[in-house]
């Protein structure tokens, strides 16, 4: 049972990340691979506050969101000047820079050794020390994030984001300052990623730079594309599929000497087939 709850926690964490990135990629049409950086910033800020300053987890999570949002504001002001492939490349460069800082600023981050003994959240004297209680916490966080994303995208602000996705120049002609909208949604998305980083760090009680590399950004992007661009339910479904499928393949009777390779092969083939027959994703509304 603990194993299934553990998978559930990972699905919820990936679901929040996917929802946050979907605000940028799915709703606004901007392909970013910077999410691992904001995820990592949130995790490290929370871990440092919890282990070094003894701050309550929920205050540390708010600080994680603030730091990630501030970093997104700085890089977003630069990214907003670009479109298409250039936007993606600049976001990629930012992720590499943040990873390098995590790896090399050893006096702060402890470098490749990471930060251990990160405490679990405590609320009104109740410690989320078991997998079941932590699953409940991240499930509530996922539900709140889902509700917020639905509210945001159905608002007038969300309609402007959709206009930017469909035709940014035409949206600008109607008087909307599209650069400001792009920066703001980038900041909101990064803050949600920072919250997820705090939840991830406290759940594992250990983090190191290898958890926040470029392939993690690509994995989150794949989750959004597979689940369905601009579909909140779709990206959660995509997160569940990409987390649960490799675990399910563990129980397929491959020969032990090639089991790991065969699981990766089958996993990749399933994703390719899905993209061939559902290029808009499982519940997607449009294609990139």
Report the distance separating Cα 49 and Cα 117, nearest Å.
12
Domain that holds residue 101: 2-214
pTM recorded for the entire structure: 0.93
pLDDT, mean of residues 183-212: 96
Q: How confident is the model at residue 116 (pLDDT cuts 50, 70, 90)?
A: very high
Is 255 part of any domain? Answer: no
* Residue 73 covered by a domain: yes
Is the pLDDT at 134 greater than 90, yes or no? yes
Residue 220 belongs to a domain: no
Confirm whether 237 is domain-assigned. no
Q: Is residue 243 part of a domain?
A: no
Q: Which of 121, 135, 128 is nearest to 11 (CA)?
A: 135
Q: What is the pLDDT of residues 228-286, one digit of tens each?
A: 888 999 999 989 988 887 777 677 666 666 656 766 676 677 777 777 777 777 887 66
Count structural domains, the chain: 1
pLDDT confidence of 133, banded at 50, 70, 90? very high
pLDDT of residue 82: 77
At residue 59's C-alpha, the angle toward residues 55 and 61, to 5°, is 110
Q: What is the mean pLDDT of residues 65-72?
A: 97
Q: Report the mean per-residue pLDDT for the chain.
A: 90
Instruction: Choose among 18, 8, 6, 56: nearest CA to 193.
Output: 18
Beta strands in 8-153 (DSSP E): 122-123, 126-127
Asked if residue 61 is part of any domain, the answer here is yes
For the stretch 149-162, pLDDT in tens is 999 999 999 999 99
Instruction: Using CB atoms within 10 Å of the CB of residue 202, give its burial: 0 to 12 exposed, 13 to 18 middle, 19+ buried.
Output: buried
Residue 226's pLDDT band, with cuts at 50, 70 and 90, is: confident
Residue 251 inside a domain? The answer is no
- Is residue 41 scored above 90 in pLDDT? yes
Section 49-67 average pLDDT: 96
For the ranges 4-13, 99-108, 121-130, 252-261, the lowest mean pLDDT is seen at 252-261
| Pair of tokens at residue 135 | 């699953």
Tell whether 50 is covered by a domain: yes
């Amino acid at each position: 049972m603990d194993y299934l709850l553990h998978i559930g926690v990972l699905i919820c964490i990936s679901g929040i990340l996917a929802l946050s990135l979907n605000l940028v990629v799915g709703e606004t049409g901007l392909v970013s691979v910077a999410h691992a950086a904001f995820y990592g910033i949130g995790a490290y800020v929370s871990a440092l506050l919890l282990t070094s300053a003894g701050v309550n987890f929920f205050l540390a999570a708010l600080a994680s969101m603030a730091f990630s949002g501030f970093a997104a504001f700085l890089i977003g002001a630069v990214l907003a000047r670009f479109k298409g492939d250039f936007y993606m490349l600049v976001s990629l460069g930012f992720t590499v820079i943040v990873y390098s800082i995590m790896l090399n600023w050893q006096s702060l981050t402890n470098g490749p050794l990471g930060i251990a003994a990160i405490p679990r959240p405590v609320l009104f004297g109740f410690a989320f020390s078991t997998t079941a209680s932590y699953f409940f916490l991240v499930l509530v966080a996922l539900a709140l994030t889902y509700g917020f994303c639905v509210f945001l995208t159905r608002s007038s602000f969300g309609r402007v984001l959709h206009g930017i996705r469909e035709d940014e120049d035409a949206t600008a002609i109607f008087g909307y300052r599209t650069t400001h909208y792009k920066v703001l949604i980038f900041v909101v998305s990064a803050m949600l990623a920072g919250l997820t980083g705090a939840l991830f760090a406290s759940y594992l009680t250990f983090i190191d730079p290898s958890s926040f590399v470029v392939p993690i950004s690509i994995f989150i992007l794949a989750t959004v594309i597979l689940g369905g661009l601009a579909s909140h339910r779709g990206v959660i479904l995509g997160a569940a599929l990409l987390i649960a499928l490799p675990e399910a393949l563990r129980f397929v009777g491959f020969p032990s000497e090639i089991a790991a390779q065969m699981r990766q092969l089958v996993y990749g083939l399933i994703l390719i087939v899905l993209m061939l027959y559902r290029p808009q994703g499982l519940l997607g509304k449009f294609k990139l």
